[in-house]
Amino acid sequence: MSTSDYAIIFMKIMGSLALLIYGMKVMSEALQKMAGSQLRHILGAMTTNRFTGMLTGTFITCAVQSSSATTVMTVSFVNAGLLTLAQAISVIMGANIGTTLTAWIMSLGFNVDLTLVVFPAFFIGIILIYNKKRRYIGDFLFGIAFLFFALVLLSSGGKDLDLEHNPDAIRFFSSFDTSSHFTILVFLLIGTVITCIVQSSAAVMAITILLCSTGVLPIYLGIALVMGENIGTTATANLAALGANTQARRAAFAHLLFNVFGVFWVMCLFYPFVNFVCGLVGYDPVNDNSSPAERAATLPIVLAMFHTCFNVCNTALLIWFIPQMERAVCLIIKMKANKDEEDCRLRFIPSGIMKTPELSVLEASKELHSYAERTHRMFGMVRDLLTTKDDDAFEKLYERIEKYEDISDNMEVEIAKYLDQVSDAHLSDDTKEKVRDMLREITEIESIGDSCFNIARTISRLRSSKEEFTENQYDNIKHMFELTDDALSQMSVVLIKHKCEVDVNRTFAIESDINNYRAMLRTQNVNDINEHKYSYTAGTLYMDIIQECEKLGDYIVNVVEARMCIRK
């Protein structure tokens, strides 16, 4: 064949790999949308012990056909405090078993003509995509059709290459000593690097199956690439955890540790283990007398079988040592010494990549609750500021409130940016509605922070003016603060609990009490000034604080209405 022929075949194979990755992505996202909150509920609830956690990870990865999606989801759950580190490790072990289904699907694609399945799937998929209720099923059919079509094209491209009759290709791969552990290690590193670059273990597996099925790549070297792919696929979760909290980074590192340990012990028993796996499918890697057709049919199954045996054996070995793995990753990745620094950043929203848009909404929801708790703490500081007499202590507390105001502004911007990124992805209608409500919530929570700072500034002006509230004014302000604090506490309850568990009337009742109390104090304030019980300046500052508390109560009601989807 000429150089131009090879170039055309090469482009065909590259395009097939791109189609394969895209098909996997579309299929995975469609399945996640169909599962929705049930998938998150399963991951959060079915991890009572290491075995149920492992089975849960296996089930979800088989369902969404992406170990990266499962591990990123798991890391996000640890970041959100929904899973412990030990639970996450067991789920990740299961994800490694679940991902072996992908290799079996690919081996099927190289042994069975899937063309008859592909085109009907495209046709049915396009019909369902335009049906509002069944469009996710249509997306799934399109994804799986792209996946199978890519496998058909890859198989066709491998046959067009005709590498088994290419002396240069045969000479190149024959130059590697398959009996040397050094050669195996080199190909393992190649598999790791390629997987880290393309961010798709499925693509590397497809390339490996293609090369082995043509007969030019010895099975030992192909298996070395598969082991490297197992290490390289951990890069996705570790990248996602870069901006997460310490526990999430530990969970991602545990994934790497698990796969590296598995590769280590398999390298120690490499040839006996590979020969055992080959024996399970009736293939002799030492004395290979099979025809090219037989080899093309058998070697993809050998690779899939090795992938399964490797992950199952590794899980069966390490599942008993999860506590030890937990201690090891805690020793390697230590908790930050400066807790205040950790507290002053987003806790649940990652700064890294986002793999699962539906899960990203859950992370944003957890961050919103953290944001609300931060403003509640800020209001507590304002209450303390009112009763602080020492000048130095007053200045330090005021500066801290000022810092919290800056943090509140930054959090509003960061959460809004994150939600904008999430909304750019393909989301279900319910999730789009949640994003809109959450954007409203963060605006109102930021307004709560502004009100807290306004009260602090009013207290500071009172101190600078050398005015003093009467004992009765202090008592009234403290009572108003108590009502406002109750409203903030109730808002936190609404943000963290399910809608069915919340009595929204409680919030409305508190807001009604705040409004009535404000109205009473406003009338009383006019009378007290007229009776010269205190100065006009003191009365103005006093009512500024009361009015700001009433505004704060309105913002709280707006947050609750947004969360409960109450439309005005």
526: domain CATH number? 1.20.58.220
Query: Quick one: DSSP state of residue 351?
Result: S
365 in the same domain as 304: no
- Residue 537 falls within a domain, yes or no? yes
Read off the pLDDT of each residue in 342-365 and give the average, rounded to a whole number: 62
Clarify whether residues 132 and 178 are in a common domain: yes
Question: Could you tell me the two tokens for 495?
Answer: 């943000």
- One domain, residues 66 and 211: yes
Specify whether 389 is located in the same domain as 325. Answer: no
Rounded mean pLDDT, 447-473: 91
Cβ-contact 267, 94 below 8 angstroms: no
The more confident residue out of 445 and 148 is: 445
Q: Is 345 part of any domain? A: no
Distance CA(316)–CA(166), nearest Å, equals: 42
8 Å CB contact between 188 and 225: yes
- Tens of pLDDT along 68-102? 667 777 776 676 566 778 888 888 888 888 888 87
Res 457 pLDDT > 90: yes
- Look at residue 484 in the predicted model and tell me its pLDDT: 94
Q: Look at 484 and 76; give whichever has higher pLDDT.
A: 484
Beta carbons within 8 Å of 373's beta carbon, 6+ residues apart? 492
Q: pLDDT per residue over 33-45, tens digit each?
A: 765 555 555 655 5
Q: Who's near 213: CB < 8 A, 6+ residues apart? A: 110, 155, 158, 295, 296, 299, 300
| Average pLDDT of span 370-385 | 92
pLDDT (mean) for 455-459: 94
pLDDT beyond 60 at 567: no
Residue-level pLDDT at 479: 94
pLDDT band, residue 164 (cuts 50/70/90):
low
In this predicted structure, the answer to whether residue 249 has a pLDDT above a threshold of 60 is yes
Same-domain pairing of 104 and 190:
yes
Do 368 and 464 share a structural domain?
yes
Give me the mean pLDDT over the 454-483 stretch.
91
Compute the distance between CA of residue 84 and CA of residue 150 in angstroms, rounded to an integer: 39
The pLDDT value given to residue 353: 44
How many residues are recorded in the chain?
Answer: 568
Q: Do 376 and 492 contact (CB within 8 A), yes or no?
A: yes
Q: Domain range holding 363? A: 357-564
Q: Are residues 290 and 370 in the same domain?
A: no
Q: How many domains does the chain have?
A: 2
In a domain, 74, yes or no: yes
Residues 315 and 374 grouped into a single domain: no
Burial category of 331 from C-beta neighbours within 10 Å (exposed 0-12, middle 13-18, buried 19 and up): exposed
pLDDT top residue among 197 and 127: 127
* Residue 308 and residue 418 in one domain: no
CB 358 within 8 A of CB 426: no
Mean pLDDT of the chain: 81
- Distance from C-alpha of 334 to C-alpha of 350, rounded to nearest angstrom: 19
**pLDDT of the residue at 519:** 93
Q: How many CB atoms lie within 10 A of CB 417?
A: 11
Helices (H) and strands (E) in the chain, counts: 24, 0
Closest by Cα among 475, 460, 275 to 382: 460
**Over 90: is that where the pLDDT of 486 sits?**
yes
Q: Which of 162-166, 214-218, 501-505 has the lowest average pLDDT?
A: 162-166
Residues sharing a CB contact under 8 Å with residue 529, sequence separation 6 or more, in sequence order = 535, 536, 539
pLDDT per position as a tens digit, 221-241:
888 888 888 888 888 777 766
65-74, 184-193, 412-421: which is most confident: 184-193
Phi, psi torsion values for 189, nearest 5 degrees: -65, -35
Q: Residues 6 or more apart from 473 whose CB is under 8 A from it? A: 534, 538, 542
Whether residue 380 is predicted with pLDDT greater than 90 in this model: the reply is yes
Long-range contacts of 111-116 (CB under 8 A, 24+ apart): 111/297, 111/300, 111/301, 113/152, 114/148, 114/149, 114/151, 114/152, 115/152
Given this model, what pLDDT does residue 278 score? 86
Residues 210/248, Cβ–Cβ less than 8 Å: no
CB 552 within 8 A of CB 448: yes
Percent of the chain with pLDDT over 70: 81
Do the domain assignments include residue 348?
no
Please give the Cα distance from 60 to 81 (Å, whole number).
20
pLDDT at 538 over 60: yes
Look up residue 151 and give its two tokens.
Answer: 């496998």
Spatial separation of the C-alpha atoms in residues 446 and 412, rounded to whole Å: 6
Same domain, 279 and 404: no
Written as one letter, the residue type at 36 is G
How is residue 213 written in tokens?
A: 């099925």
The pLDDT value given to residue 341: 39
pLDDT digits (tens, 9 = 90+) for 333-353: 876 654 443 444 566 775 544
Q: For 1-49, where are the alpha helices, taking DSSP H only? A: 3-35, 37-45
Is residue 110 domain-resident?
yes
Retrieve residue 340's tokens.
Answer: 């205040």
Asked which of 316, 332, 348 is the last residue of a domain, the reply is 332
Residue 499 has pLDDT above 80, yes or no: no
Kindly report which listed range (126-140, 196-210, 474-488) carries the lowest average pLDDT score.
196-210
Instruction: Identify which of 54-68, 329-343, 461-475 has the greatest average pLDDT.
Output: 461-475
Beta carbons within 8 Å of 43's beta carbon, 6+ residues apart: 56, 60, 73, 74, 77, 83, 91
Q: What does the pLDDT average to over 3-31? A: 75
> At a CB cut-off of 8 Å and minimum separation 6, what does 258 contact?
89, 92, 93, 96, 314, 318, 325
Cα(204)–Cα(200) distance, rounded to whole angstroms?
Answer: 7
- Give residue-wise pLDDT tens across range 518-535: 999 999 999 999 999 999
Judged against a pLDDT cut of 60, whether residue 364 lies above it is answered with yes
User: Does the residue 346 lie in any domain?
Assistant: no
Is residue 152 one of the residues assigned to a domain?
Answer: yes
pLDDT of residue 158: 62
Note whether 413 and 298 are same-domain residues: no
User: Which pLDDT does position 516 carry in this prediction?
Assistant: 94
What number is the average pLDDT over the span 490-516?
87
Domain-located, residue 140: yes
Measure the CA–CA gap between 502 and 559, rounded to whole angstroms: 14
Tell me: do 302 and 390 sit in the same domain.
no
For the ranges 107-121, 173-187, 260-274, the lowest mean pLDDT is seen at 107-121
